[in-house]
Amino acid sequence: MNIINGGAHANNSLRIQEFMIRPENAKTFSEAVRMCFLVIQNLKNIISLKNFSTTVGDEGGFAPSLNSNEDAIELILTSIEKSGFKPGEDISICLDVASNELFKDGKYSIKSLNF
């Protein structure tokens, strides 16, 4: 599930296009949706408490203007933990870096990912 947007899908400073979560241990589809919902609600609260915008990007994830992609990952990790799950065990983070967006002047600009 897409929860934070950057890159071409958001008007913010993030270079990674989609920050997503994947429930690993859900037994049913409804349980997977419930797990994602809890993380999203905690993410929204955390973003609000930090006085970041909770507007959404083109793909439906939040689109806060953060200092780095790492900051987005840290927000997601905190949201997973606050939801009562273990990052990497119960819920994993997935990234869509949209590498075609990083191709400039005949080469990839990996440095622009801003980790």
Q: What is the DSSP string of 27-88?
A: SSHHHHHHHHHHHHHHHHHHHHHTT----B-TTSSB----S-HHHHHHHHHHHHHHTT--BT
Domain boundaries, the chain: 2-113
What pLDDT, in 10s, does the model give residues 2-43? 999 987 767 787 888 899 999 998 999 999 999 999 999 999
Burial class of residue 7 (count of CB atoms within 10 Å of its CB; 0-12, 13-18, 19+):
buried
What pLDDT, in 10s, does the model give residues 53-109? 888 887 888 989 888 889 999 999 999 999 999 999 999 999 987 776 666 777 766
Tell me what pLDDT residue 109 has: 65
What pLDDT, in 10s, does the model give residues 38-62? 999 999 999 999 999 888 887 888 9
Q: Which of 69, 72, 34, 32 is nearest to 52 (CA)?
A: 72
Distance CA 91, CA 25 (A): 8
